[in-house]
Structure 1
């Protein structure tokens, strides 16, 4: 039940973020639907590859498919004047998708009794996979590769579950981890928390060439 709920919530959140990015890039209706669907389910495919579940199992999530269709339909009929808030909405939908899929990926990996490190990798790939594919298709720099804490919170959620700091079989504890991951991601957006840069010795040369 917990996995089903997380799958639906994460799919809807990432579908909405993909649709908003597609609108921001001036995609047509077909492009919006395609990017929304790919963003919603790409993370689940990566999770299945990591934990040894057939990738085709993603297509058996009837509830998630219906929810994603409904979310994309609502997104398409939202008045255009509201889309000026699209970027802000995308960031928060993305944070919700990251949180839910990270926890879901960690639970799937923990269920097959792998190491805590593998649980963390599954959480990060499941949580960030959809966003990475979305950004690449929209020709944007993926959030996970920027000076951002994007993947850190997914790894942290995986560590909490993989190290058994909470019980993966107690629903309220799982939802606390999800809520905590979401709050930390939102705080990192609001307060502009970033990972440090490493200066490239060729950066000045590259900038000079561009000029």
Structure 2
């Protein structure tokens, strides 16, 4: 049950995120749908390539593709007044998508009995892979590499799940909520990982 719920939450959240970014960079209707779908399913495709799962399993997710297309259509047809508030509430969609797919990716790796390192990488790739592809296709610096903590929260979720610290559907929803909250707090309070720049 948790798997299906996380898949739906992540798919809708990232499909909306991709569609919004496409409209921000003034892509046409085709571009909006492509970027929305790629954002929603790109992370799972990258994860499957990494851990050796056939990527054609993505095409068996008919319900999720329909959910993504419906979500993109709703966003595309939304009023300009509603879309103008994206900067305020858009981070929530991206944070929810990151958390849902990070937890899902970690669960997937655990079910395959992969080592802890693979569980963490699967969480990061599933959680942020779609966003990386989205930003690259939109000509933007990928969010995961920017100053605010992004991929780090996905890695932390993968670590917790990989260590088996929490088990059961309720625990997974708690990890989802905590990862989402930490991502949003890192934006509000400008938490950041250490970084250095090259001298001029």
CA deviation digits over 1:163-192, x for unaligned, max 9? 01111xx11011111111001001111111
Gaps of 5+ in 1: 203-211
5 Å-filtered alignment, 1:44-193, equals 44-167=44-167, 170-193=168-191
Distance (Å, rounded) in 2 between the aligned partners of 1:76 and 1:147: 30
> Does structure 2 retain, via aligned residues, the 8 Å contact 1:103–1:123?
yes
- TM-score, normalised by the number of residues in structure 1: 0.91
CA deviation digits over 1:76-110, x for unaligned, max 9? 11101221112333322111110000000000000
What is the RMSD computed on CA atoms of the aligned residues? 1.1
| Secondary structure, counterpart of 2:173 in structure 1 | helix
**Residue 205 (structure 1) aligns with:** none
**Residue 15 (structure 2) aligns with:** 15
Gaps of 5+ in 2: none
**Residue 38 (structure 1) aligns with:** 38
Question: Post-superposition shift, 1:57?
Answer: 0.4
Question: Post-superposition shift, 1:134?
Answer: 0.4
CA deviation digits over 1:58-90, x for unaligned, max 9? 111112111111111110111012211123333
> Does structure 2 retain, via aligned residues, the 8 Å contact 1:17–1:89?
no
Distance (Å, rounded) in 1 between the aligned partners of 2:50 and 2:107: 13
- TM-score, normalised by the number of residues in structure 2: 0.96
> Does structure 2 retain, via aligned residues, the 8 Å contact 1:22–1:31?
yes
> Does structure 2 retain, via aligned residues, the 8 Å contact 1:18–1:134?
yes
| Secondary structure, counterpart of 2:85 in structure 1 | helix
Distance (Å, rounded) in 2 between the aligned partners of 1:136 and 1:91: 18
Matched, 1:200 2:198: yes
Runs of 4 or more off by more than 3 Å in structure 1? none
Distance (Å, rounded) in 2 between the aligned partners of 1:74 and 1:190: 28
Distance (Å, rounded) in 2 between the aligned partners of 1:50 and 1:194: 28
What number of residue pairs does the alignment pair up? Answer: 200
